[in-house]
Amino acid sequence: MSIKTICIYGAGALGGAIAAKLANRVGNDASVSVVARGAHLEAIRSRGLSLHEADAETPLNVHLTATDDPQTLPPQDLVITGLKGHQLPPAAEGIASLLKDGTRVVMILNGIPWWYFHRDTRSGHAELQFDELDPDGRLWRLIGPERVIGCVAYQGAEVINPGEIRLSNKGRFVLGEPSGEMSPDLEAISTLMTSAGLSIATTPDIRDEIWSKLMGNAAFNPISALTRAVMTDIMADPVLSAMVGKVMNEVRAVGEALGARFTMTIEQRLEHSRHVGAVRTSMLQDLIGGKALEITPLIGMLAALGRLSATPTPVSETILALVTQLDRENQRGS
């Protein structure tokens, strides 16, 4: 796979960070563009994209092609999406306009992705689609799950000002084909992203990685939004930390019912969470910013897959009802 044209579709906190690092390291060998919008887009156009890395004294600043209309860009060799689950379906046509024969799409998503059951051999539900994640099958039809390379990100990032992103840690990214193949495309994309200074691992079991991260996301994201608490405060509160553990247990039960394998116990995951720091989850960031919350992939699908696999998820369903109402009120207020 030859990668000469790269577009990051959705250059917010995480997508923008990847775009900045790619443009800084591979700009002479490949063209890097971003699709963004609003004040963030205008700042990128006028001042460039600035990235404050966790261990850097001065920010990295890059200038690259930025647009809110993907149809002004040529077809790409590689598209990397930084959009959240609820932002993807409206962007299906825009992403599709960037595709040509052989284009691969790296989808960085929290929670259960729309392509989850494509070529899945463990759950017994291969090729199952969910309208909640992909209304009318637009993503499945216009992009196609066969183009997707899954990506699970362990990287804290936040847009602190338009055109300016801060990373809270030295993160890592795990890439994998839905089929489990360690394909030449997967290797080429991993090599490219590694050359840009990103910490990349590849796996034949991307679904296991999805469930492992969901164990934290399904608990901390909605609870942080409901309480306005950062992760250290959640873990310091006995009632909230116990609720986190209950959600994690439900995630593990549903995941195992669908064939997922977990390498950490609940107790190990809780202990790890106590040392993450005063992190504002992405859902809390969106709540404070008056944006729509990413509910369905994180906790809505946990409840839906619980029903599919006949696995009870009572705590998660209660949290789902509460955070859904919070999102409605937040959207009315904004």
Active site residues: 213
The conformational region for residue 220 under phi > 0 = left, psi -120 to 50 = alpha, else beta, is alpha
Rg (CA), the chain: 19
Helix (H) or strand (E) holding 49: strand 49-52
* Vertex 291: Cα angle to 216 and 213 (nearest 5): 15
* Alpha helices (H) along 99-237: 138-142, 184-195, 206-227, 231-236
Tokens of 240: 């909230």
Distance, in Å, from the CA atom of 285 to the CA atom of 197, rounded to the nearest integer, reads: 26
Q: How many CB atoms lie within 10 A of CB 150?
A: 24
Distance, in Å, from the CA atom of 109 to the CA atom of 12, rounded to the nearest integer, reads: 13
Task: Dump the DSSP string for 124-136.
Answer: S-TT---TTTSGG
Tokens 């999102």, located at residue: 327
Helix (H) or strand (E) holding 239: helix 238-257
Tokens of 311: 């696995």
The strand pair at 157-161 and 164-167 is best described as: antiparallel
Closest to 135 (Cα-Cα) out of 85, 94, 100: 85
Q: How many CB atoms lie within 10 A of CB 170?
A: 12
